[in-house]
Amino acid sequence: MSVKTTPVQAQDVEDAFLRLNTIVKATPLEKDHYLSLKYQCNVYLKREDLQWVRSFKLRGAYNAIAVLPEEKRNQGITCASAGNHAQGVAFTAKYLNLHAVIFMPVTTPKQKVNQVQFFGGDNVEIKLEGDTFDDCLKSALSYTEQHEMTFIDPFNNVHTIAGQGTLAKEIIESAKEEDITIDYVFGAIGGGGLMSGVATYFTAHSPSTKLIGVEPLGASSMYQSVQAGHVVTLDNIDKFVDGASVARVGEITFDICRQTLDDYLQIDEGAVCSTILDMYSKQAIVAEPAGALSVSALDQYQVHIKGKNVVCIVSGGNNDINRMKEIEERSLLYEEMKHYFILNFPQRPRALRQFVNDVLGPHDDITKFEYLKKSSQNTGTVIIGIQLQNRADLDMLIRNVNQFDPKNIYINENKMLYSLLI
């Protein structure tokens, strides 16, 4: 591969590694037997979910702050983040005894706010500003300028990128110890800091390794930028994969990724949910949505990776337990195992029994049933949810529902109705 000069070099990663050596946990590179058997290859997981702040973000945050001149450090630092970057900055501020002002959107879950406060202690001041991240960022930048502080960018910063690249050095050193050659590395792309750092180091020290960037389908800002030949801003994004849902990637990360990455994959958010549940039930790994992206990508690449040595970067494990019901729901919808309909139900005795007998299969389950009886009409409107045990039964279910009510509305295909009614 022909590589042009990029703003970050492998030596920058080496320098960052020395800086972080006693601060950041050297996370394990573990062979995953379940995934290896499933995809007929050797799958190794780089477990950044086991980092001190449960994500790789500590690496870049610490490196970007540690290189600041003492005068800049003493004036204080700021950042804008609703999650992992904020925790990395908070951890660093406490460790280096610096004052940090961390801006988070008003809509940030309290659990995340509490985690930032926990890692930062008295060194951190949290400001909840704006309903969206963009509003929060504007407030942070304005405050930074007014108070002559230093803003720590989550990805569009050469020192942040170099810090993230230190996990690539750990991967290569672990592979040498096991005497294996890494054929593929899969890692999440949000703003692009992680894969920019990883690609910078791998390109210099393992140029034969294929580097694959993985984005959520509803926020594929890097892929679309590469296709356009310049950085683009997405008008609308699906924020479910919150650690990797970025409307605009960095200019620096774009420059590095387009020169060094071999491919870009877009993963449906429902597939990510299925991976999260699979990793939890099969491997006892609690991955956040962005952390599961790399593993989700293996389905699309299984023909290419057969018999190869593959590394998936599990980039984080900050998954709020309160999201698990939503994760399970999105997984079932993606797997086409759960289906919602609006039906006209006859207003007479035993109508529900008839529906169960005529429409449902022996293993189908009703998970939602909302019925409003109207005395002046012969039928009433029902919102019904049906969960299948076997995906192969879907065609029969659709056929039976259409026979029961030819005018039914299939809610799964209407995002607006689904959001309103379900």
Catalytic residues: 57, 315
Strands 379-387 and 338-346: antiparallel
Instruction: Map tokens 């405050």 to a residue.
Output: 143
**Tokens of residue 229, six digits:** 């030949």
Task: Give the torsion through C-alpha atoms of 326, 327, 329, 333, to 10 deg.
Answer: 130
Q: In angstroms, what CA-CA distances link 135 with 61, 125, 193, 353?
A: 22, 18, 22, 53
Token pair of 243, please? 């650690």
Instruction: Kindly write down the DSSP assignment for every residue of 316-372, as one continuous string.
Output: B----GGGHHHHHHHHHHHTT-EEEEEEEEESSTTHHHHHHHHT--TT-EEEEEEEE
Q: Are 197 and 6 within 8 A, CB to CB?
A: no
* C-beta of residue 380 within 8 angstroms of C-beta of residue 374: yes
Integer Cα distance of 245 and 132 in angstroms: 13
Question: Which residues, in sequence order, are bridge partners of residue 340?
Answer: 385
Q: For 8-69, where are the alpha helices, taking DSSP H only?
A: 10-20, 33-39, 57-66
**Backbone conformation region of residue 263, classed left if phi is above 0, alpha if psi is from -120 to 50, else beta:** beta
Integer Cα distance of 298 and 359 in angstroms: 37
